[in-house]
Amino acid sequence: MSSLIQSVKGTRDFYPEELAARRWLYKAIRSVSESFGYQEYEGPYLESIELYAAKSGDELVKEQSFVFPDRGGNLIALRPELTPTLARMVAQKQRQLVYPVRWWSFGPFWRYERPQKGRAREFFQWNIDLFGIESPEADAEIVAIAAGLFKKVGLTPDQVKILVNSRRLVSAELSALGIASEKQAEISRWIDRRAKMNTYAWEAYASELGLEAKQIIQIKEFLQNYDTWKKSDDLSRFFAGIEAFGCRDYVDFDPNIVRGLDYYTGIVFEAIETDGEIRRSILGGGRYDNLLADVGGQPLPGVGFAMGDMVFSLVLEKHKLLPNFGNRPPAPILVTVFDESLLHASISLAAELRSHGFDILNYPESEKLSKQLKFADRMGIKIAIFLGPDELAKNLITIKVLSTGQQYSLTREHAAEALHKQLAGLPPS
RNA sequence: GUGCCAGUAGCUCAAUGGCAGAGCACCUGACUGUGGAUCAGGUGGUUGAGGGUUCGAGCCCCUUCUGGCACCCCA
């Protein structure tokens, strides 16, 4: 046992049950994405490190990426995020694409961080983006898609909220207080920290940044005012759009939302669990109108978000919204084996039924029937089929319904029809 | 990368520095053409790994790995 080679730190093994859960999540994401007319795409998992150095820069690449040299000595990274890849893909075909471009993706990412609840080194992420439209209605569409997923999986507006702010609004506000635009990024980061620091330390830090006492008071007032969005034409239109999309109850204005990434230019948002028990944000995104130009393309407005699978799964688990994938049978029917001499007869029977379109499990060797039925029971199989000397003599098979214990015999010719009926009459797993 | 907590059977957990245990699970039988329930019996451990202190270590000390929590950062 102790000699087992350990899995790589921060990776997860997906046993059938867990893979079923992941695929369920994928299906929900695909369904919502497609319902808004978004197309699925995928990028490479390996990227040259320069791709990230150009934009993400600093910490994400240097500290939090898996990087290794290839045989030619070039530094390769396991992708820590998708946006740079997406920006490249769009830039490469910028003149051929039909706008607006609406794309989504769900795949693996890697970050070299300390694993903890809701965070691993290898994780899956949903990315969805809209390019080519600058309007608040485009922002509203992206946010509505996030709300659409919550609705689809059964999360209510009481349980999750999408908090929205506008970098433009914050910037205007700070400028009005006499704060130079060069300082505003720093101030934003300070605002972002507020929830994590105690009031005293937070205000002391503000003084260090050169803010005057009066400015600190004014910023605090701004951060406590949840109606400021009404002063902004963009946000007013955004919320009118959200209303029209039918998901206003999932979305709130929150002036404290700033987001870490530098490239956001307009709205920023993140989804949280309302009672705060799960402290990490579920998803985050915003508008990034300069990104494409920054990576060498023509200017092109974009808006989008990313959602990791781990925090979202925690939220679903907490609210008991994940289906139970525990006892899902791999096939509904098991063909048992009476004894060694009839093993091939059973295999043939199963093959015959498969040709009628049934998913069939063979018991692979002669064993006591009780053991075969126990196997069927534990696998969650619905129907066991017996083919013994009695049946064979009369060209019959016996069907046993495990949930009721009922069994009956019928001719082989009628088996397919009877099985269809029998399966249709049983509750789905 | 920093700090704190934890790791004992497949799982959940016991064991004052003194014989490593229980429940569940698993296997066998009661039941040679029939699962779940019940009863009886049985298998299962280098106490995460390595070192140290001690007559003696699951327990104390050091190192390390893994997980969890708080930083950091973010999905």
pLDDT of A60 > 80? The answer is no
Q: What is the ipTM of this complex?
A: 0.83
Per-residue pLDDT reduced to its tens digit, A238-263:
999 999 999 999 999 999 888 766 78
Task: From residue A248, give the alpha-carbon distance in Å to each of A136, A140, A377.
Answer: 14, 10, 47
User: A1 CA, B21 C1': separation in Å?
Assistant: 20
- Rounded to whole angstroms, the Cα distance separating A280 from A233 reads 31
- Residue A397 pLDDT: 96
- Residue A429 pLDDT: 58
Closest to A350 (Cα-Cα) out of A377, A311, A385:
A385
Whether residue A150 contacts residue A160, with contact meaning beta carbons closer than 8 Å, is answered with yes
| Cβ of residue A59 lies below 7 Å from strand B | yes
Question: For residue A2, what pLDDT band results from cuts at 50, 70 and 90?
Answer: very low
- Rounded to whole angstroms, the Cα distance separating A310 from A378 reads 29
| Contact residues for A129 (Cβ-Cβ < 8 A; gap 6+) | A83, A86, A101, A102, A103, A104, A142, A302, A303, A304
Taking the alpha carbons at both ends of chain A, their separation in whole angstroms is 34
pLDDT of A34 > 90? The answer is yes
Chain A span 361-420 residues with beta carbon within 7 Å of strand B: 368-371, 373-374, 376-378, 386, 388-391, 398, 400, 402-405, 407
> What tokens appear for A369 in the block?
């029937």
- Residue A182 pLDDT: 81
Question: For residue A414, what pLDDT band results from cuts at 50, 70 and 90?
Answer: very high
Per-residue pLDDT reduced to its tens digit, A61-90:
667 888 888 999 898 999 999 988 999 999
When mean pLDDT is compared over A176-185, A226-235, A256-265, A315-324, the highest value belongs to A226-235
Tell me if residue A45 falls in helix, strand or coil: coil
Question: For residue A143, what pLDDT band results from cuts at 50, 70 and 90?
Answer: very high
Closest to A286 (Cα-Cα) out of A262, A265, A307, A257:
A265
- Residue A393 pLDDT: 94
Least confident stretch, A83-92, A198-207, A237-246, A328-337: A198-207
Which residue's entry shows tokens 């939302």? A257
What's the pTM? 0.90
Q: For residue A122, which nucleotide's C1' is closest to its Cα?
A: B75
Whether residue A267 contacts residue A303, with contact meaning beta carbons closer than 8 Å, is answered with yes
User: A97 CA, B9 C1': separation in Å?
Assistant: 61
pLDDT of A279 > 60? The answer is yes
Same fold, A16-318 and A333-423: no
The average pLDDT across A55-60 equals 56
Q: For residue A114, which nucleotide's C1' is closest to its Cα?
A: B1
List the domain boundaries for chain A. Answer: 16-318, 333-423
The average pLDDT across A104-130 equals 92
CATH among 1.20.58.1610, 3.10.580.10, 3.40.50.150, 3.40.50.800 for A333-423: 3.40.50.800
| Cβ of residue A280 lies below 7 Å from strand B | yes
Fold of A16-318: BirA Bifunctional Protein; domain 2 (3.30.930)
- Rounded to whole angstroms, the Cα distance separating A277 from A280 reads 9
Containing A308, the helix (H) or strand (E) segment is: strand A302-308
Written as one string, the DSSP assignment of A329-392 is: -SSSEEE---SGGGHHHHHHHHHHHHTTT--EEEP-S---HHHHHHHHHHHT-SEEEE--HHHH
- Residue A12 pLDDT: 87
Structure-model confidence comparison of residues A113 and A248, the more confident one: A248
Half-sphere exposure of residue A296: CA atoms within 13 angstroms, side-chain side: 12
Question: For residue A59, what pLDDT band results from cuts at 50, 70 and 90?
Answer: low
Sign of CA dihedral A57, A58, A59, A63: positive
Which residue's entry shows tokens 């990034």? A288
Q: For residue A81, which nucleotide's C1' is closest to its Cα?
A: B75
- Rounded to whole angstroms, the Cα distance separating A271 from A280 reads 9
Which residue's entry shows tokens 């910028």? A94
